[in-house]
């Protein structure tokens, strides 16, 4: 932000956010999750010109998932966050953004699809078309697939062209190169 680098961030807006750790009387770690009240946090819903909430959609194997867009300004950098805990979704999809690392492998896959595919769609809804993408760990890996699909659909690229474009514009980092990470 201080350097004026033109970047934008995308993430998930977790209802429970990060947990607070504590040690019980036996010395074991426990966690406490507090519900976030987004309307009393420095985050604002993204609205269209009519004042309606901006939603993006994804097709999951068992139905359509909608996510409400929120925005936080981190210095000069916009950070867009996606939230599935909305009335437009059936109950089975509302908890996708319930908690960080919550649930089983299927929930983790849903979160990664939402971040990768939904994140790119959220940027496009805002008419933001980045040429370079940074993916942290595997969390947003579906972004690469959505970027290929978009390049083919919107730009008329062949698969090979879209693959090359996506490869050239993708940066991946891992912070925990161990099996548990």
pLDDT digits (tens, 9 = 90+) for 134-145: 998 888 999 999
User: Can you point out the beta strands (E) in the chain?
Assistant: 9-12, 20-23, 29-32, 44-45, 55-60, 63-74, 77-83, 133-136, 170-173
Mean per-residue pLDDT for 15-42?
82
d(CA 170, CA 147): 10
Percent of the chain with pLDDT over 90: 67
Percent of the chain at pLDDT exceeding 70: 97
pLDDT digit string, tens, across residues 32-75: 877 777 788 889 999 999 999 999 999 998 999 999 999 999 99
Max Cα-Cα span within the chain:
62
Instruction: Please say if the pLDDT value at position 180 is more than 70.
Output: no
């Amino acid at each position: 932000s201080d350097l004026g680098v033109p970047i934008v961030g995308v993430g998930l807006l977790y209802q429970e956010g990060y947990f607070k750790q504590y040690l019980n009387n036996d010395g074991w770690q426990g966690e406490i999750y507090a519900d976030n009240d987004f309307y009393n946090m420095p985050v604002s819903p993204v609205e269209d010109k009519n004042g309606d909430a901006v939603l993006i959609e994804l097709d999951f194997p068992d139905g359509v998932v909608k996510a409400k867009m929120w925005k936080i300004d981190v210095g000069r950098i916009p950070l867009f966050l996606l939230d599935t805990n909305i009335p437009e979704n059936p109950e089975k999809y509302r908890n996708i953004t319930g908690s960080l690392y919550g649930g089983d492998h299927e929930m983790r896959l849903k979160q990664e699809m939402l971040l990768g595919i939904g994140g790119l769609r959220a940027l496009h809804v805002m008419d933001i078309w980045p040429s370079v993408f940074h993916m942290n760990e595997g969390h947003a890996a579906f972004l690469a697939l959505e970027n290929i699909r978009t390049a083919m659909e919107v730009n008329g690229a062949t698969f090979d062209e879209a693959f090359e474009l996506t490869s050239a514009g993708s940066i991946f980092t891992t912070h925990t190169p161990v099996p548990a990470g």
